[in-house]
Amino acid sequence: MHRAADGGLARVRVPGGRLRAEQLHRLADLAVDLGDGALELTSRANLQLRGLAEGAELDLGAELAAIGLLPSRTHEKVRNIMASPLGPGDLVAELDTAVCAESELAALPGRFLFALDSGAGDVAWSRADLAALPVGDRAALLIGGVDHGIRLAVDQVVPAMVACAKAFLRVRDEQWRIAELPDTSVIVAALVDQEAQGQPFEARIPVTVSPTERVTPGTPPTGGPIGPVVFADGGLGVGAAVPLGRLTAEQARALGDVVITPWRGVVVRGDLPELGLITDPSAPGIGVTSCAGRPHCHKALADVRAAALAVSVPGRAVHWAGCGRRCGRPAGDVLDVVATTDGYLVDGRAIPGERVAEAVAQGRQD
Ligand code: SF4
């Protein structure tokens, strides 16, 4: 738990964004009993509770463990797994369990990210350290966002990711991410040169390395599924954006099983009740995100949530931040709005506070 100006801030990791109804409803109760009454969705499809009193983390931790959301005290910070919201998510639990079972992986930096892409290409390029992306009946393993031609059977994705994460820990110095390493060949070698690495034959992970085949790199999408959706298994559902990423307890209690998306939205199977969530892809609230801002964060120079809500023009994704740290900024092409001591920077351009709504409206439509 971090301390913020409005109390304790606790992040609850939700691998793959998959939450069962009973977990979501209990989280809603905890947000009311211990926090400020809302669940905040993060750009990694996790949840945050804020406004927690001193010491509330003890009750919260016990409650989260009881509903299966704190399976490992040692590995909590490294359970960072994103998955395509409409995909099967079938490897999420297997990867989570495998990461938690390796004691040395508790030392992974908290920013290290695994991504399991269904083939939609929606999470593979989202700055993950290790990402699996289906190619035909096999999976490409992207290392530090780069396709080195490594191809695996789908049932080898989890052991390959664990092997690469361990290799990263062996070679990292101060780096937090694989892409920051001066040379990622050691990570690649953990799979392609297992013999040279002294891996016993029976423990080797079968991989093939294509000399030429490479997946065309994609860009991280700035928006998730909105409106009617079809899941990878053919099931129908609805995707919705959560205004400014804050799901109220009442909204959470009215939902069933959900998938939280990395675009601060939810996807549900079947129908979505009318809850004030955004299901119109052309609505002004689509693509609008904000950090906590004033009065919730000590560093904030402005009430950016209020400022964001005052602009009702749809268009390009926009992220409002109360200072230059830009917490919670989504990946990809996003209009950057950063509060300063005398106004805002809108995509780096200084704008007085009284003109920021106009500048953002124009920036969203450019
Ligand atoms: S971007 Fe700045 S103001 Fe916003 S939450 Fe982060 S530290 Fe606080």
Phi, psi of 194 (to 5 degrees): -65, -30
Average pLDDT over residues 1-18: 95
Q: Evaluate if residue 163 carries a pLDDT over 90.
A: yes
Torsion of CA 328, 334, 335, 338, to 10 degrees: 20
Every domain of the chain with CATH number 3.30.413.10 lies at: 76-209, 288-365
pLDDT category of residue 214 using cuts at 50, 70 and 90: very high
Percent above pLDDT 90 for the chain: 90
Enter the tokens of residue 346: 């809108």
Query: Atom of ligand 1 at shortest distance to CA of 298?
Result: 8
End-to-end CA distance of the chain: 39
pLDDT category of residue 356 using cuts at 50, 70 and 90: very high
Average pLDDT over residues 142-156: 96
For 12-50, write each residue's pLDDT tens digit: 999 999 999 999 999 999 999 999 999 999 999 999 999
pLDDT of 195 reads 86
pLDDT category of residue 1 using cuts at 50, 70 and 90: confident
Q: Evaluate if residue 202 carries a pLDDT over 90.
A: no
Every domain of the chain with CATH number 3.90.480.10 lies at: 2-70+225-269
Query: Atom of ligand 1 at shortest distance to CA of 338?
Result: 1
pLDDT of 198 reads 85
Query: Atom of ligand 1 at shortest distance to CA of 292?
Result: 5
154 with 134: CB under 8 angstroms? yes
Average pLDDT over residues 79-97: 96
Distance 224 CA to ligand 1 centre (A): 24
Q: What angle do CA 298, 304, 310 make, to 5 degrees?
A: 160
> For a substitution probing ligand 1, which of 291, 340, 341 has the most ligand atoms within 8 Å of its CB?
291
Residue from 127, 191, 131 nearest 164 by CA: 191
List pocket residues of ligand 1, CB cut-off 6 Å.
Answer: 291-293, 297, 299-300, 321-323, 325-327
Look at 141 and 366; give whichever has higher pLDDT.
141
Residue written as token pair 């830009």: 326
**Mean of the per-residue pLDDT values for the chain?**
95
pLDDT category of residue 351 using cuts at 50, 70 and 90: very high
Distance 270 CA to ligand 1 centre (A): 37
149 with 209: CB under 8 angstroms? yes
Distance 303 CA to ligand 1 centre (A): 11
For 330-339, write each residue's pLDDT tens digit: 888 899 999 9
Other CB atoms within 10 A of residue 191 CB: 25
pLDDT of 246 reads 97
Rounded Cα distance, 214 and 157, in Å: 18
Maximum Cα–Cα distance for the chain, whole Å? 67
pLDDT of 193 reads 87
Q: Which amino acid is at 339?
A: A
For 227-271, write each residue's pLDDT tens digit: 999 999 999 999 999 999 999 999 999 999 999 999 999 999 999
Q: Which amino acid is at 345?
A: L
Rounded Cα distance, 72 and 97, in Å: 9
For 307-330, write each residue's pLDDT tens digit: 999 999 999 999 999 999 999 898
Residue from 282, 209, 207, 195 nearest 241 by CA: 282
On whether the 76-209 domain is CATH 3.30.413.10, my answer is yes
Q: What angle do CA 34, 40, 323 make, to 5 degrees?
A: 110
Query: Atom of ligand 1 at shortest distance to CA of 301?
Result: 3
For 99-121, write each residue's pLDDT tens digit: 999 999 999 999 999 999 999 99
Residue 76, classed as helix, strand or coil, is helix
Distance 337 CA to ligand 1 centre (A): 12
On whether the 288-365 domain is CATH 3.30.413.10, my answer is yes
CATH homologous superfamily, domain 2-70+225-269: Sulfite Reductase Hemoprotein;Domain 2 (3.90.480.10)
pLDDT of 282 reads 94
- H helix or E strand, kind and range, residue 357: helix 356-365
Instruction: Take atom 6 of ligand 1 and give the residue whose Cα is closest.
Output: 327
pLDDT of 332 reads 80
- H helix or E strand, kind and range, residue 51: strand 47-52
Q: Evaluate if residue 148 carries a pLDDT over 90.
A: yes
> SS3 for 224-250, per residue?
CCCEEEECCCCCEEEEEECHHHEEEHH
Instruction: Take atom 2 of ligand 1 and give the residue whose Cα is closest.
Output: 323
Query: For residue 268, what are the β-bridge partners?
Result: 238
C-alpha distances out from residue 318 to 261, 315, 330, 339, 359, Å: 17, 9, 9, 13, 12
Distance 257 CA to ligand 1 centre (A): 31
Distance 306 CA to ligand 1 centre (A): 15
Contacts with 223 (C-beta within 8 Å, 6 or more apart), sequence order? 241, 263, 281, 286, 287, 317
Distance 320 CA to ligand 1 centre (A): 10
Average pLDDT over residues 340-365: 96
Q: Evaluate if residue 199 carries a pLDDT over 90.
A: no
Distance 4 CA to ligand 1 centre (A): 10
Distance 5 CA to ligand 1 centre (A): 11
For 266-287, write each residue's pLDDT tens digit: 999 999 999 999 999 999 999 9
> For a substitution probing ligand 1, which of 3, 42, 296, 297 has the most ligand atoms within 8 Å of its CB?
297
pLDDT category of residue 301 using cuts at 50, 70 and 90: very high
Residue 277, classed as helix, strand or coil, is coil
